[in-house]
Amino acid sequence: MAERERLICNSHELVEQGAGIRFPLGESITGFAVRYKGNVHGYVNQCAHVPVELDWQEGEFFDLTRQYLICATHGAHYNPQTGYCVLGPCKGRRLQPLSLIERDGCIYLIESERHS
């Protein structure tokens, strides 16, 4: 399986504990990137409780304390670094992580390509 990099955004667009950047993953699925404690983290934008998007307003993934990612529907709180749900109806489950890298002022998604 080959890998390729897809440009998501410029590094400066992803502000520490600020708004996340959404990007398409499939026809009806999105992913998102956030910056937390300097590092970039990416997840599929689907709650581990019910598969709905997390952000209460487009790109708003952090709770008021800016320490957790929060689901707008029933309030599940996720650790931004691991994606594990630490509070809420899906406690112990986790968001699906995505591979993101930051290089030369840009953030890329690492995608796997299947060859048939």
Point out which residues bind ligand FES (CB under 6 A).
47, 49-50, 52, 71, 73-76, 88-89
| Residue 11 three-state SS | helix
State both tokens at 48: 């581990």
Alpha carbon separation from 21 to 30, 55, 66, 88 (Å, rounded): 10, 11, 15, 24
Nearest CB to ligand FES, comparing residues 69 and 109: 69
Taking the complex as a whole, the smallest distance from the CB of residue 30 to ligand FES amounts, in Å, to: 15
Nearest CB to ligand FES, comparing residues 52 and 86: 52
Taking the complex as a whole, the smallest distance from the CB of residue 93 to ligand FES amounts, in Å, to: 10
**Rg, C-alpha atoms of the chain:** 14
Tell me the C-alpha distance between 20 and 60, whole Å. Answer: 6
How would you classify residue 16: left for phi > 0, otherwise alpha for psi between -120 and 50, otherwise beta?
beta
Nearest CB to ligand FES, comparing residues 14 and 88: 88
Taking the complex as a whole, the smallest distance from the CB of residue 80 to ligand FES amounts, in Å, to: 16
Taking the complex as a whole, the smallest distance from the CB of residue 51 to ligand FES amounts, in Å, to: 8
